[in-house]
Amino acid sequence: MTVNPATRIFAYRGLTLPDPDCRLSPEEVKAVLAIQYPELTTAAINGPEVVGDKLRWEFLTAVGAKG
């Protein structure tokens, strides 16, 4: 019997973002991806959700105006 780790995918605003390193925690992945998507620095992480043979994590940001 062979055990294979589940593939992780990360979603943000309808985009599927690649997993930069399977050894990183979702919080660390968020920090890495925040270089390209700065609004992720304050995002919440929702998941994992099992989608087929993958684990899906979603980054959620607040939408609205300050005030």
Confidence category of residue 16, pLDDT binned at 50, 70, 90: very high
Do the beta carbons of residue 36 and residue 12 sit within 8 Å? no
Do the beta carbons of residue 45 and residue 59 sit within 8 Å? yes
Query: E strands of the chain, at which residues?
Result: 7-12, 15-17, 44-51, 54-60
Single pTM value for the model: 0.83
Each residue's pLDDT tens digit, 34-58 = 999 999 999 999 999 999 989 999 9
Nearest to 25 by CA among 61, 55, 62, 51: 55
Question: Residue 28 has what pLDDT?
Answer: 97
